[in-house]
Amino acid sequence: MRIGIPKEVKVGENRVALTPAGAAELSAAGHSVYVMRGAGNASGFADVAYQQVGASMVDSLAEVYACAELIVKVKEPQQEEFALLNHRHILFTYLHLAASRELTEMLLASGASCIAYETLVDAQGRLPLLAPMSEIAGRMAVQAGAHHLEMAQGGKGILLGGIPGVAPANVLILGGGVVGANAAAMAVGMGAQVRVMDKSIARLRQLDDLWRGRVVCEYAVQARIEELALTADLVIGSVLNAGASAPKLLGRDLIRQMGSGSVLVDVAIDQGGCFATSRPTTHQSPTYIEEGVVHYCVANIPSAVGRTATLGLTNATLSYIVRLADSGLAVLNSDAGFRAGLNIHHGQLTQAAVGYSFGIPFSDVSLALSKRQISYKK
């Protein structure tokens, strides 16, 4: 298989989809790896490191897409990449299609087969390729929230952990999954008063057993979410409906009633956001103030720690990249969890949640795969 690693062109994106060590594994297995010059620079991986393990360096996005059959990325393709994709490509990356009808339609028009990291599941039903970035995003959400509670950033002027004689900040975490659990761990470590809300009693029980009262774990009903949001200094939105748009948990009227200088961190922004006032921001301009509340809605939070994120991502994705390289799309036929990652196949939408979000017809993934298979040679 010919594997292409483009340089990420999304604003503020510092990650690269494959480390030199990952490229070495693929090269050793007989595959050809084409890396765009400078792709790894921001995360600390120089071109020479890729060359030393047998990768070929190319000068442009167009060359990467022209050389490769399997395109491995970090973030969804940008405008300048749409025309470079075609029916012979397999695209393997974070897609988050439910956040963008335009992206969905462009990828359908390309004819490519698009596999999303965030909907692929393992044998236990977990999201193994989303997990490392969720761990980072959860931890960084608290760091960002603590920073933006400072008065110079528009916040209330509250120290997250307080001091002796002065109460710490109230942190409300909506969603107890990987993001929420990591956010709770960071907030506890910084000395905050922490409350996690989730609709899974089993998950709340796990978190309660872990923290033994240090974190208050509550069942998420809308009235209680709104009640607690009004007294929170920092609210972290970490809800996830895999492949679908995030539910809106706080409306504009409620946010207007929150204390001036409170902070909302919307980790679900890459799935449309879970607050009514959320809109995507970048690391270059991460916040805005609306209804008196500071909003941090960066859509690629882990990019701020590009080296850590790249290493963690490659650790998670490499075995799947190797299997795709070895067998092409045929690997999906024997692995239902891997098959769940296929969102688009040769002009057919195969992710029901996205179809429901946009009113776009969708096909059963197994049926779509049976209609057309492409064979790849090493």
Under the phi-then-psi rule, with left for phi > 0, alpha for psi from -120 to 50, and beta for the rest, what region is 179?
A: alpha
Nearest by Cα to 157 from 140, 169, 165 = 169
Under the phi-then-psi rule, with left for phi > 0, alpha for psi from -120 to 50, and beta for the rest, what region is 212?
A: left
Residue 366's identity, in one-letter code, is: S
List, as one string, the DSSP characters of 242-298.
TTSPPP--B-HHHHHHSPTT-EEEEGGGGGT-SBTT---B-SSS-EEEETTEEEE-B
Active site residue 31: no
**DSSP 8-state secondary structure symbol assigned to residue 218:** E
State residue 284 phi and psi, 5-degree precision: -70, -30
Active site residue 89: no
Catalytic residue among 31, 270, 345, 346: 270
- What distance lies between CA 265 and its chain's CA centroid? 15
How far is 94 from 71, CA to CA, in rounded Å?
12
Catalytic residue among 96, 295, 345, 346: 96
Alpha carbon distance, N-terminus to C-terminus of the chain = 5
- What distance lies between CA 300 and its chain's CA centroid? 7
Catalytic residues: 96, 270
